[in-house]
């Protein structure tokens, strides 16, 4: 028989021999926190940018316009993922191929997009 080094092998038997495997079935808290943070900082960036542009902070309107654009870049994904988390919390049949939705909505059909009716 040939010698096989099992120190670096990964198989189902290795996981089964380690004992019971407990899945942590909590919601995707980190993803939701990141989405809400993007939404909040994006909104603040847009508001502060508009105020800076109106009052010409920094001598011209370019600084305010920059902050407003930066706020918009943060706001768009923050709003999108916060909306998905809200729909998952409410139990709507909306699914996209992302970790947040796969863990939260059991009616997900793989990568297909199910829309609300």
What does the pLDDT look like over 27-60, one tens digit per residue?
Answer: 788 999 999 999 999 999 999 999 999 998 888 8
pTM of structure: 0.61
Write the pLDDT tens digit of every residue in 99-113: 555 555 444 444 444
Residue partners of 95: CB distance under 8 A and separation at least 6: 101, 102, 105, 107, 108, 109, 112, 113, 114
């Amino acid at each position: 028989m040939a010698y096989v080094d099992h120190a670096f092998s990964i198989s189902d038997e290795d996981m089964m021999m380690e004992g019971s495997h407990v899945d942590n079935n909590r919601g995707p808290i980190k993803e939701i926190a990141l989405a809400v943070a993007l939404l909040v900082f994006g909104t603040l960036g847009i508001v502060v940018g508009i105020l800076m542009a109106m009052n010409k902070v920094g001598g011209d309107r370019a600084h305010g316009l920059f902050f407003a654009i930066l706020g918009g870049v943060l706001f768009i994904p923050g709003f999108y993922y916060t909306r998905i988390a809200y729909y998952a919390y409410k139990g709507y049949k909306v699914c996209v191929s992302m970790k947040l939705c796969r863990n939260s909505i059991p009616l997900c059909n793989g990568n297909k997009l199910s829309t609300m009716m």
